[in-house]
Amino acid sequence: GMGGGFPGAFDGGFGSGCGGGFDDGFSGKGGGGGKAGGSLKAPPSSGPREEDTIEVDDRDIGRIIGRGGMNIRDLRDGTGCRIITPDRKEDGAENALRIVTLQGTKEQIKRCKEAISGVLMGDEPTDVLAEIDGAVLMKNIDGMSMGHLAKLKDKFEEEHKVTVDLDARSARIWAKDGNRENALKAKEAIEEAMEDITTVDTFTVAVPPHLVNQVINDSTLRQLQDQTGLTANVSKTDEGTGIRLTGLAGAIEEAKKIIERRNQGEGAAFLPLMPGMLNKMSPAMRAEFQRDLSFLMQNSGAQIDIGQAANQADFQGGPDEVAYAKGEMMKILHHYFPQECEVIELPPESVDWIAGEDDRELMRLQSAGAVAALDRRSASMWICGNARSVEMTRKRIQNSMARWDREHFFMQCESKHQCFAVIGTGGSTIRELQSSTGARIDVDANQCTIMIS
């Protein structure tokens, strides 16, 4: 009962990597669009077309182009300029200033120069262009705060006469009358409203001793840690065992709910979404999605809560029911939003490697335009955001998986005796193998597995 595909509300175009010089190939016909309403379209192409140049350090050319040409396309779309970068320098050549050519009207070129300056400072093109148009930015918003902001968005827009544009981890605020002071006041009001959930706190949740290891390693709790920076540690005192939580107050409240449900033998999970994504649906498509959602709850036995403006879907029920419902929901959302939602299945043995030490690699996958959530139980990566950021994140994960395949080999042994044979007496055999090959060998005799890396 999933019917026809959702007609994508976003532009999913994404360029391939560039070899030498990059010419965006844009004709320079900028579109219209009001700034106060939140548009990042190029200014109208009135007036004669001109050509101008800027000097950029060779090391910064890549920043202008971006991964797969994403930055240069955003700059082109937001300014109306054609941007031509120089050929890549030859191997061994010294770094020097290079010439970047801009073609467009006088106004378009001026706007493009300002935007490139911001990109070279490390900002996202869309954020730079928004600031040029008078928007006030809020960056690096955690998942809990974004969920709270998504619920209050309409209220703030009405009370402060602003337009609030939410991305996966950032927000842009425009004053409807063009007065930036009103946007700044709205930002202050938003920050004040979110203080209660952004305060850092510590809380210990009691957990029965026989469940503490299972709960501390729960995939949903680990996912919450990945998304919010929350830390969870086993605590043993005279009063009993528990899990000590440290982080944002909002994240602690979510973690408490997860732990308490696990204590009761129930399951709990969440799926991060791009704020307002469901609002892109037509009424007919929305009704069809609701039918699919009702069918999934009936078929799985899990309760699913997903608000139209929410930035996550919440699942409750038995552990197996919740895991099944979450997996099916990812497929349904990908069906309706094929460019904004992506699921990548991972080899189970590669999960920790993909996440990186202390989840550093996973944190690097997060961007202003998309969120990446790792489900360790199902060995899958969920990506949700604007089409271009999703595509960029997907390619980075695929590159990591290709590197994993090149650098790792997994073996499933038939018995523990085979594992012990590789280890040898006192570890002599495994030391000899590692010394002679330069490879690392990890043997798990309990699981009868061997990993070579």
Q: How many Å apart are CA 2 and CA 372, to the nearest integer? A: 25
Report the relative pairing of strands 312-317 and 341-345 from DSSP bridges: unpaired
Residue 2 has pLDDT above 70, yes or no: no
Q: What is the pTM of this model?
A: 0.66
What is the reported pLDDT for 370?
87
What is the reported pLDDT for 40?
55
Highest mean pLDDT of the ranges 20-29, 140-149, 309-318, 394-403: 394-403
pLDDT interval class at 60 (50, 70, 90) = confident
The two structure tokens encoding residue 70:
């994403």
From start to end of 169-259, where are the E strands?
171-175, 200-206, 231-237, 240-248
Q: What is the pLDDT of residues 373-393, one digit of tens each?
A: 999 889 999 999 888 889 888
Residue 14 has pLDDT above 60, yes or no: no
The percentage of residues in the chain with a pLDDT greater than 70, rounded to a whole number, is 87
For the segment 388-400, the average pLDDT, to the nearest whole number, is 88
Residue 280 is classified by DSSP as G
Long-range CB pairs of 8-13, under 8 A, 24+ apart, other chains included: 8/337, 8/338, 8/339, 8/340, 8/387, 9/280, 10/280, 10/339, 10/340, 10/386, 10/387, 11/387, 11/388, 12/339, 12/387, 12/388, 12/391, 13/73, 13/388
pLDDT interval class at 34 (50, 70, 90) = very low
Q: How many Å apart are CA 120 and CA 111, to the nearest integer? A: 14
The two structure tokens encoding residue 337:
């939003």
What is the reported pLDDT for 152?
82
SS3 121: coil
pLDDT interval class at 67 (50, 70, 90) = confident
Tell me the average pLDDT of the chain: 83
The two structure tokens encoding residue 359:
């989840």
Q: What is the pLDDT of residues 197-212, one digit of tens each?
A: 778 889 999 999 989 9
Q: What is the pLDDT of residues 71-91, one digit of tens each?
A: 898 899 999 999 998 876 655
Strand order from edge to edge, sheet including 267-272: 267-272, 312-317, 303-305
Strand order from edge to edge, sheet including 97-104: 50-57, 97-104, 82-84
Residue 260 has pLDDT above 80, yes or no: yes
What is the reported pLDDT for 20?
46
SS3 154: helix
